[in-house]
Amino acid sequence: MEKRHPDMELIFEGNKQWVERKRLEDPEFFERRAKGQSPKYLYIGCSDSRIPANEISGREPGEMFVHRNIANMVVHTDVNLLSVLQYAIEVLKVKHVIVVGHYGCGGVAAAMSDKQFGLIDNWLTNIKDVIRLHEEEFHSIEDEEARFRRLVELNVVEQVINLSKTSIIQNALRREDPPQLHGLVYDLREGILKDLNVQTDHIKQYDRIYGMQ
């Protein structure tokens, strides 16, 4: 048998230690989770390795359904995202859909530049669209870091709005107990989540465009 790479040995050793800790804390931890999942939340976040969804929210495994991509985007042609969203809403019946961005996001920083990065440029165009929608506010901010942080927030707001435009969410909002949409930003320096209090009610005025029966 070929010897594992030392980096992979860290994974397996860490797994064993984690299992031991969990069994000491709760002997039935794994048995309960093997029976199924019923999460209350769908977390749509950035792929950044510094932001573990469960840990920053203080949730245990099984409490949060998670989808991650570059810069926490909700793109209407992304079949992966839409599949996760549909499963979470229609099968798991989650109560909350949360888009979580973070200050210092590399994807947002790349979209702010005028450089080419390759294939990802096609993805970053979606963030550049956010700049276009908020161009006046964006360019009125003179401090570069403040402008960067504000674009992170505006990107989250627009992704929550994008969620509200999907047929999956529009259908779910007709239920007696519809899911709630939220936009949050995580501060890497402080570890704190900030609620942007995103309002999507104004989308109703565009029902003639986005509305679906």
The residues, ordered by sequence, that sit 6+ positions from 57 with a Cβ below 8 Å of its Cβ are 41, 43, 64, 193
Is 102 annotated as catalytic? yes
Q: Of 4, 23, 33, 50, which is the active-site residue?
A: 50
Distance CA 32, CA 70 (A): 32
Best CA proximity match to 69, nearest among 95, 43, 87, 88:
43
Query: Is the distance from CB of 95 to CB of 40 less than 8 angstroms?
Result: yes
Is residue 105 flagged as an active site residue?
A: yes
185, 156 Cβ separation under 8 angstroms: yes
| Annotated catalytic residue within 46, 67, 134, 182 | 46
Phi/psi at 195 (5° precision): -85, 120
| 143 counts as catalytic | no
Catalytic entry in 67, 105, 149, 182: 105
Verify whether residue 50 is a known catalytic residue: yes
129 is catalytic: no
The catalytic residues are: 46, 48, 50, 102, 105
